[in-house]
Amino acid sequence: MLAGEPYIADDPELAADALRAAVLSERFNATSAADPDGRRAALTALLGKLGEAVEVRPPLRVDYGSQITIGAGTFINFGAVLLDVAPIAIGADVQIGPNVQLLTPTHPVEPEPRRAKWEAARPITIGDNVWLGGGVIVCPGVTIGENTVVGAGAVVTKDLPADVVAVGNPARVVREIRAGQESARDSPAT
């Protein structure tokens, strides 16, 4: 699974790992905002690595949780779906809007292997200081470079370099970001 090789999705060991993640996700999602220590403890138990001063607003959905690392100072808004069949690495100071999906699983196009429940996965890497607007979907195997902004609703199917603004489906670079150039009032992301 981690190596990107095909695997059978209903393997009993994977099912046990998914059940563990489901129980921990339920605990995190049920924790009150008035209990930040309890919320952090539940998230720490669920995820592979959690940096300092990270805020994740529930609900959060994951496959396993243990394949997800989140850098310091990152904010993840409501409704994130992080399908971590392969590793998901989220850098420091990242801003993730509501209902963002980071999707590592892949499935065969051919009907017979798909019917037999074969899957594979490719990792996702989000660089430091990236901003993913609301509803962004990041597809398997994608890397997004540091400081990049992805506009609301974009579908990222290929790597994006550092210091750019990308929008659309499929996401395409519309301009470079230079220090001091961007202002909050003309931002493409939400």
Q: Would the pLDDT of 188 be above 80?
A: no
The model's pTM is 0.92
Q: What is the pLDDT of residue 1?
A: 62
165 lies in some domain: yes
pLDDT (mean) for 37-46 = 96
190 lies in some domain: no
Q: What is the pLDDT of residue 11?
A: 84
Q: Would the pLDDT of 174 be above 60?
A: yes
Residue 8's pLDDT band (boundaries 50, 70, 90)?
Answer: confident
Q: What is the pLDDT of residue 19?
A: 95
121 lies in some domain: yes
The question of whether 107 is a catalytic residue gets the answer yes
182 lies in some domain: no
Q: Would the pLDDT of 81 be above 60?
A: yes
1 lies in some domain: no
Q: Would the pLDDT of 186 be above 90?
A: no
What pLDDT, in 10s, does the model give residues 84-135?
Answer: 999 999 999 999 999 999 999 999 999 999 999 899 999 999 999 999 999 9
Residue 5's pLDDT band (boundaries 50, 70, 90)?
Answer: confident
60 lies in some domain: yes
187 lies in some domain: no
Structurally, the chain folds into a number of domains equal to 1
149 lies in some domain: yes
Task: Tell me the CATH number at 74.
Answer: 2.160.10.10
Q: What is the pLDDT of residue 69?
A: 98
Domain that holds residue 104: 7-176
Q: What is the pLDDT of residue 179?
A: 77
Q: What is the pLDDT of residue 185?
A: 54
Which one of the listed residues 27, 107, 122, 172 is annotated catalytic? 107
> Exposure pattern of 44-79 as b/e (b: 16+ CB <10 Å)?
eebbbebeeebebbbebbbbbbbbbbbbebbbbbeb
Give yes or no for a contact between 148 and 164, defined as CB atoms under 8 angstroms apart: yes
Residue 18 corresponds to which amino acid? A
- Taking only Cα atoms into account, the Rg of the chain, rounded to an integer number of angstroms, comes to 17
CA distances to 14, 30, 76, 116 from 99, in Å:
25, 18, 9, 30
